[in-house]
Homo-oligomer: A and B are copies of this chain.
């Protein structure tokens, strides 16, 4: 039974919260949104307003998961109300671009104002201390819910998702290192596949948002490289999960020690490695961008 590992009391608490919250807050939110307008149209209008330069119908369809015909009609309805403008895509004449008119934007802003007033009214009766506590609890909940929805998977380093992560990683650290970063320093797909190593990607709602690579260094010793987390997914504890996956992978390959190096500017990373049981060691390899070297003894303790 899949619930075995999760205490029933926690499941009950989650469901209780869910029920209370959707009834109290979610319902309100839905209600204000569709003031005079069907909810579907209101949602669509909001989504369009989110992209100031305009969006293609194709993108919207993907984002909202709507049927093409349904979307086409709703767009037409919004257009006839003067809230959006439709135009051809400058480069691809199959696509249609949609964007809010000033009227549409005013409408969205007004609805946002109302939603804000509603939210403020909700917080209003609480004391400042209680409000702080509520917001903190919600922020924590959201962080953990996000984390729970993220899966870490082994993928081939040659896949577009893996390449996208490595490119983003390279861009990030190129911006951070005073000396910049050259992409040629990235691992090649062959270095982290098959016997040589492994590559892991973390996904949030099908989008790759973090990665990490494991490479066999020598007999019984692995190296962890390119641990990266998307800017908008930081502070969730995701790097730890990537590390754990890589360490687990190392163990199954009979690697009982993992090493890694890091740059002087990445102080948070260093702190994280220490917190995860890594200890600083002398240089084990002469690497251009490395200032600190770490190592961790992996013991196959029951988790």
Contacts and interface: CB of A to CB of B under 8 A. Distances in A.
A29 interface: yes
Contacts of A6: 120, 123-124, 131
Interface of A: 2-3, 5-6, 8, 10-11, 13-22, 24-26, 29-30, 115-117, 119-126, 130-135, 137-142, 144-151, 237
A130 B236 CA distance: 11
B13 A138 contact: yes
Given A2-B121, A116-B11, A116-B15, A126 B144 contact: yes
State how many copies of this chain the complex holds. Answer: 2
B134 A145 contact: yes
Contact of A18 (B2, B16, B26, B120): B26
Contacts of A25: 18, 22, 145
Contacts of A130: 144, 147-148, 237
A123 B142 contact: no
A240 to B, nearest CB: 9
B140 A11 contact: no
A65 to B, nearest CB: 10
B10 A135 contact: yes
Nearest to A14: B119
A126 B147 contact: yes
B135 A20 contact: no
Contact of A24 (B117, B140, B145): B145
Contact of A3 (B15, B21, B117): B117
B144 A134 contact: yes
Nearest to A149: B24
Contacts of A8: 116
Contact of A29 (B3, B13, B22): B22
A2 B134 CA distance: 19
Nearest to A138: B17
A40 to B, nearest CB: 14
Contact of A20 (B17, B19, B145): B145
B24 A21 contact: no
A286 to B, nearest CB: 37
Given A10-B131, A145-B21, A120 B2 contact: yes
Q: Lowest 7 CB-CB distances: which A-B pairs, in order? A: A3-B120, A137-B140, A134-B144, A17-B138, A22-B26, A6-B120, A137-B137
19 contacts: A3-B117, A5-B124, A11-B123, A14-B122, A15-B119, A17-B141, A18-B25, A20-B142, A21-B141, A22-B22, A22-B25, A22-B30, A123-B148, A130-B144, A134-B148, A137-B137, A137-B138, A137-B140, A137-B141
